[in-house]
Structure 1
């Protein structure tokens, strides 16, 4: 009887769990973004920006929103680490691609990296959220300028949900709106990429 009640309780209390990749070139602000997401949605103080070192490997963060758990995988963006990204593609439900808006010199490299991601069969149909980070800085490119570079490959996104939004991970501007957009797309894409239940 206990096993039956315990199983029923677990069924009633389980939540949908989604895995979201945070990727982009090194120094784009991915880990700062993850820390900001945790502070906004979990009410915990994240790491101070001056204590965030370049990611070598993986950082993991979790938030709970309504009946869903979102697990973020923040992967290192150095060129020699980008080869491990695809190991996570088949298990992810969405991708957050972070662009350093102040680094116009590497925008073409950023576009090429993004194209490699979206043309991989393992992420077919996965929602893509591109964040133009560091919008708080005076030398940041506007979203329209970034879109102009990426428009050359936009057709390769296909019919999947995608969006480009301006954010400042450091100050938190636009982060809640961006994650709210992503969570709606995770729910909408359940048939294509079913969540885990835990």
Structure 2
């Protein structure tokens, strides 16, 4: 009887855990986004933007949405660090690709990097959320303009869930919408990428 009750208790109290990787070029605002996600969902203020240094390696953060834990891995965006991204593909349940919508000079590099990510066989079927960041800055590319630029390679996303959303990681605009979108897609994609269960 004790074993049955223990098993039931464990089942009711276990959390589904998902892993989301945050990718993009350096200075796209990935770490600022992660800090804003943490503060939005935990109520605890993260690092102030002026104290955020370029990521060398990995930053982590976790938030709970309903009975689900979402673990975010923010990976360094410098070109020489792109080779380590692949090490995280097999464990991820979703990809957030952050685009600096003010950096028009590097948009072709962004496009090429994004294409390399989504055509990797290890992430086939994984939901992809592209965030057009820095929408609070005058002259930033709009979501419509970003979609126009990335449309030629969007066909390679296939039938997987994907979208482009506007955000300002600095101000927090659109951050909750982005996490809500991810939550729904993670739930919907559980058959292909089951969650990890932890007590």
Instruction: Tell me the TM-score normalised to structure 1 length.
Output: 0.97
Q: What do residues 35-80 of structure 1 show as CA deviations (whole Å, max 9, x unaligned)?
A: 0000111111011000000000000000001010000000000000
Give the match for residue 35 of structure 2: 35
* Count of residues paired in the alignment: 198
What are the residue-to-residue correspondences of 1:87-102 with 2, within 5 Å?
87-102=87-102
Cα RMSD (Å): 1.1
How many angstroms does 1:4 deviate by? 5.5
Give the match for residue 62 of structure 1: 62
Give the match for residue 147 of structure 1: 147
Give the match for residue 49 of structure 1: 49
How many angstroms does 1:145 deviate by? 1.3
**1:126 and 1:135 mapped to 2: Cα distance?**
26
5+ residue gaps in structure 2? none
5+ residue gaps in structure 1? none
Q: Is it true that 1:116 corresponds to 2:116 in the alignment?
A: yes
Q: Is it true that 1:180 corresponds to 2:180 in the alignment?
A: yes
**2:4 and 2:60 mapped to 1: Cα distance?**
34
How many angstroms does 1:11 deviate by? 2.2
Q: Secondary structure at the match of 2:90?
A: helix
How many angstroms does 1:5 deviate by? 4.3
**2:61 and 2:173 mapped to 1: Cα distance?**
19
Q: Secondary structure at the match of 1:74?
A: strand
Give the match for residue 82 of structure 2: 82
How many angstroms does 1:10 deviate by? 2.1
What are the residue-to-residue correspondences of 1:160-171 with 2, within 5 Å?
160-171=160-171
